[in-house]
Amino acid sequence: MCAQAETERFGLLFARPGIHIPNTRERRNTTEMKFSVNVRKLIENGKPLKATCSVTMDDQFTIHGVKVITTEKHTFIAMPSESYTDADGNEKFRDVCHPITSALRKEMEDAVLAAYNAKVVEENLKAIDAN
């Protein structure tokens, strides 16, 4: 089928003059997503899990159960996961959902960690004011 027939068949859906449709490489290197983060619970028990959050993307999609984890080396986020048993009987975990690109993961992680740090400061100020 020739390009003109394809264009007519799909009602000019894909071939509109003056509209640039980014290719996969262009989409992977940039994101224009807005993140809203709600730190639901701060956890201070001496273990690596420090907080649980909900992340809303572009006011259209929310992920509950995003975890903030701190190790000796760094602080990072972990996506919600489910456990399963593999063929050898070992318990494994797999993300329920996750960013596809490293750029999106970095932006999401930056937004969550900024909200987490702000919440920690806010809680510390409340504790100082209470004394």
Sorted by where each starts, the structural domains of the chain and their CATH numbers stand as 33-130 (3.30.1120.40)
Q: DSSP for 61-114? A: EEEEEEEEEE-SS-EEEE--EEEEE-TTS-EEEEESS--SSHHHHHHHHHHHHH
d(CA 45, CA 93): 23
pTM summary value: 0.73
Q: What's the pLDDT score for residue 37?
A: 97
Per-residue pLDDT, averaged over 68-72, amounts to 95
* Band of residue 4 on the pLDDT scale cut at 50, 70, 90: low
Q: Is the pLDDT of residue 10 over 90?
A: no
Residue with the bigger pLDDT between 74 and 9: it is 74
* pLDDT, tens digit, 9 for 90 and up, residues 28-57: 555 678 999 999 999 988 899 999 999 999
How far does Cα 34 stand from its chain's mean position? 11
Q: Is the pLDDT of residue 101 over 80?
A: yes
d(CA 82, CA 93): 6
